[in-house]
Each structure stands twice: as structure tokens, then as C-alpha cells.
Amino acid sequence: MPDRITPYGAFNFLVDIGGDIGPIGGFSDVSGLSTDIKVAEYRNGNDAENHVRKVPGIHSVADVTLKRGVVSSNDLWAWINDVRVNSINAQRQVVITLRDEAGQPVQAWTLRNVIPLKYTGPTLAAKGGGDVAMEELVLSSEGLILNE
């Protein structure tokens, strides 16, 4: 992959929620890709300087939210039901892949040991007429890996 100085657009991506489904291109939004490292402050009693050292501790991964228009597919709901029945055995690997203008993958984020945490169905209202019915899925993950 040649060096590129122009940032990639955030609108061309695929989401693979694992299982037998494969990549899904119908999500309009993915948010919350982040990790956080906690630090413990420590100071030796015989340190010459009066300051603390920052020692890396545990890390955590934020919940990731996926949004898409409602389509005639029950793939998300089937996964939710699988977690309800099989608990931790229903964990999946979820891969979000950013693509360039030609549709080629340029970077991917892998979420490890993922379960759906929350599902929100569409808000239905007779007045709009032009609004898309949207569903939202919040994912809980134990790890985040950046693949290049």
C-alpha cells in the first residue's frame, strides 16, 4: 500500500458481525471505536524527585454502536437470541473495514469476544413519510485490535 497523505472518507466501510453472515454493507453509522488504558500512580519512597510514576494497568474497550435502516433480515435479532440462549458461547469477532474510493480495504478494526448489549428498534411515526426506519445495535467487546 503506497503512502497516502489525503485522509480517507468515513463513508465507505463494511461491517462483518461474524457467524455465517459475512460482511454487511448496510450500516449507515459505526461509532465508539475506542480503547482506554488505566494508569496507577506510584512513587518510590526514595525517589529524588517529588513526582509520581504512571504505571499502565488494565485496559478497556468502549461499547460500539451500529445503526442501519431496517431491512428484511433477522440477522441481528438471531444473534441477540443466540446470546440469550447460549450466553458466552455466542461471542463473535466483529470486523469493521474502512475502504478507499476504489472499494479496496485500507484499515480494519477487529472487536474480540463481542456480544450484543442493546437493541433499539425504529421510531415509527405516521407523519414524516420520507424518514427511514432505523435500528441500532450496541456491542460490548473485550478487545480492540487495529489491523493494517
Q: Enumerate the domain spans of the chain.
A: 13-34+60-147
Asked whether the beta carbons of 34 and 44 are under 8 A apart, the reply is no
50 or 86: which carries more pLDDT confidence?
A: 86
- 2-30 per-position pLDDT tens digit: 678 888 898 899 999 887 766 776 789 99
Asked whether the beta carbons of 135 and 119 are under 8 A apart, the reply is yes
User: What confidence score (pLDDT) does residue 25 get?
Assistant: 63
Asked whether the beta carbons of 101 and 6 are under 8 A apart, the reply is no
Report the C-alpha dihedral over residues 87, 117, 16, 92, rounded to 10 degrees.
Answer: -20
CA distance 18 to 1: 26
- 51-93 per-position pLDDT tens digit: 899 999 999 999 999 999 988 888 888 999 999 999 999 999 9
So what CATH class is 13-34+60-147?
A: mainly beta
CA distance 131 to 112: 34
